[in-house]
Amino acid sequence: MKKTILFLFSISFFIACESGVKIDPSPMGGTISQGDEKTAIVEKLAAAYRAGTFELAKEYFTTDGKHYFNNVEYTVNETIDGYNFHSVLYDNIEHVNPTVTTMYYNNGEIYTNQWSDWSGKSKITGDIMETTFHCWWQWEGDKIVSTKCYMDPKELMAEAGLYQENMASADSN
């Protein structure tokens, strides 16, 4: 029995060594997780965004955090208001096939990455908007200190323009 266990251990060790997987000890090497608490929090925040209730972010964001949409910096409240405004413009907001993972770097930095296709139905025209986005969420301890989200804003800005036109014409009537 001991020989069988030793043999099986030796074979599994040999297979692991032959797989080419190497642990990267460099500062920007590390480990990635999809089943950790930070990933679950970002998924919870994504659900709040889709529901138009992104105020939940106040529970996880630092008050002095730096948040960016396509490299333009916003405060926590501006970020929350901006993301909630998407629900004013669109119904049926969806993240299509999202991937969310958290990277624990060897230098101590922690980022949760989120990427997905996005879709929503215009409340004004009924048209479906579809795009792709990528966000990262930077952690210090159990708080998010910074976010950056990237997507092509062309259709979103056009929709916001239609919304403003409709509001202006409603006010003049």
CATH number of the domain residue 90 falls in: 3.10.450.50
Q: What is the DSSP letter of 124?
A: T
| The total number of residues written for the chain in this structure | 173
> How many whole angstroms separate alpha carbon 107 and alpha carbon 79?
28
> How many whole angstroms separate alpha carbon 141 and alpha carbon 65?
13
* pLDDT for residue 14 is more than 50: no
Domain assignment present for residue 10? The answer is: no
Tens digits of residue pLDDT in 50-91? 999 999 999 999 999 999 999 999 999 999 999 999 999 999
Domain assignment present for residue 47? The answer is: yes
Residue 95 structure tokens: 């993240």
What is the band of 11 on the pLDDT scale with cuts at 50, 70, 90?
Answer: very low
Domain that holds residue 59: 24-172
Domain assignment present for residue 51? The answer is: yes
pLDDT value at residue 160: 93
Domain assignment present for residue 55? The answer is: yes
State the chain's mean pLDDT as an integer: 89
Domain assignment present for residue 14? The answer is: no
The number of domains in the chain is 1
Domain assignment present for residue 4? The answer is: no
